[in-house]
Structure 1
């Protein structure tokens, strides 16, 4: 892979697109067309993706690193919806002509993103209408995830929500090791608190309880899932 994202070749951009679940089954021709309009950009940790143009109609594929998706309340409180990693595509909702919902996308760590102009992506989809099916299925899956998350936030207990959050992060970022599945990203307690809408102190108490029960291990902002089955049971428990 080229050192500088802007220097990536057509073939390297196609390779990244092929890894993305949305495009994995696409024929060669539309993949080549999409790679021709794609633009790779580097973002340092903490950088906001659409800081210069919040209305910019571009989706992006995460080539490396990770992206935090968040919203802010009227009172200024930040709520983290998710932390996504390679090879996910985000901001696909910007395909809609209406102004996008203003999620905030920020680089969770040093990241490289492959930007896809929505006008060009729409033209490719219109030229191959069957591929709209893949977009529809992706959006349905994302909608289902949003409804589940909303249900968990409203009806689940705090330990259920923590267990479900850790299980989701393990699915997205887990790295298998001798001691269990390590979450492959730094996860400060403040970050978990923003994801659950609770204080750092509440997060600390929950993590200690999970650790004492042998479900997880915590070490310097790193979490290892030692008993994934127990974590799933907590997440699914009906009080």
Structure 2
């Protein structure tokens, strides 16, 4: 129970709940574990749920008509997925796969509704979190239509960084478990084109590369660098 409570307290979506509300949330949620590559759920599946990532990371995906997996984002510990529980859509809009071994806390759609009915103080923060995600989605559309390839890659790295924690741009180093090929997949580029764009930021001292990971040395400085690129 205490471990669940600690995990929920780290999640920005639950930032508006009272201690009583957090306690109730910790009591009703179910803890689940998934191995790397295991599906949490598939696109189009029924039974919507709100999922909080306790450890590890989750890849949010869509399957293209060609059958290829398109990676939309990667959600890290302390963040959440399952926006559909807050709207009337009848099924899951996207799929989710364990990007690495992952532990999650899960709430059914009915549990979320009952929790908010009993603890409406949670609504303002939830609305803020949903609005942030909508703004982030609009920014991606803008990136893909109006910005250079390096700027698109850099801003997608910032987008991934936001999903590793509380949804804000950090000033501390952040390690992203994402390959250059996966990053290219997200922005519609080959691995080679993504690598060429990444080198712009590597040469500026803003990131470092290791096997299977990209470390942003200071995301706030990367954001300032990108803003200068747009000027």
Same fold flag (TM > 0.5):
yes
- What is the CA–CA distance in structure 2 between the aligned matches of 1:63 and 1:225, rounded to whole Å? 22
- What is the CA–CA distance in structure 2 between the aligned matches of 1:68 and 1:26, rounded to whole Å? 27
Deviation string 1:31-50 (CA, Å, 9 cap, x unpaired) is 22222210001111111111
Return 5+ residue gaps in structure 2 as ranges. 166-170
Residue pair 1:17, 1:23 contacting (<8 A) in 2 also: yes
By relative contact order (CA 8 Å, sep 6+), the higher-ranking structure is 2
Query: 1:102 is matched with which residue?
Result: 93
Do structure 1's residue 201 and structure 2's residue 175 form an aligned pair?
Answer: no
Query: 1:68 is matched with which residue?
Result: 59
| Number of aligned residues | 225
- What is the CA–CA distance in structure 2 between the aligned matches of 1:46 and 1:158, rounded to whole Å? 29
Q: Which moved more, 1:70-79 or 1:13-22?
A: 70-79
Residue pair 1:67, 1:83 contacting (<8 A) in 2 also: yes
Deviation string 1:40-91 (CA, Å, 9 cap, x unpaired) is 0111111111149821221110000011112222233433221111111210
Post-superposition offset of 1:109: 0.6
Q: Please show how residues 97-136 of structure 1 align to structure 2 within 5 Å.
A: 97-136=88-127
- What is the CA–CA distance in structure 2 between the aligned matches of 1:52 and 1:219, rounded to whole Å? 31
Residue pair 2:15, 2:122 contacting (<8 A) in 1 also: no
Alpha-carbon distance change, 101 to 38 in structure 1, aligned in 2, over 3 angstroms: closer
Query: 1:7 is matched with which residue?
Result: none
SS in 1 for 2:16: coil
Give structure 1 regions of 4+ aligned residues with deviation exceeding 6 angstroms.
Answer: none
Q: Please show how residues 173-212 of structure 1 align to structure 2 within 5 Å.
A: 173=164, 183-212=174-203
Return 5+ residue gaps in structure 1 as ranges. 1-9, 175-179
- What is the CA–CA distance in structure 1 between the aligned matches of 2:101 and 2:218, rounded to whole Å? 30
Alpha-carbon distance change, 226 to 34 in structure 1, aligned in 2, over 3 angstroms: closer
Alpha-carbon distance change, 210 to 135 in structure 1, aligned in 2, over 3 angstroms: closer
Q: TM-score, length-normalised on structure 1? A: 0.82
Post-superposition offset of 1:135: 2.0
Do structure 1's residue 31 and structure 2's residue 22 form an aligned pair?
Answer: yes
- What is the CA–CA distance in structure 1 between the aligned matches of 2:44 and 2:97, rounded to whole Å? 14
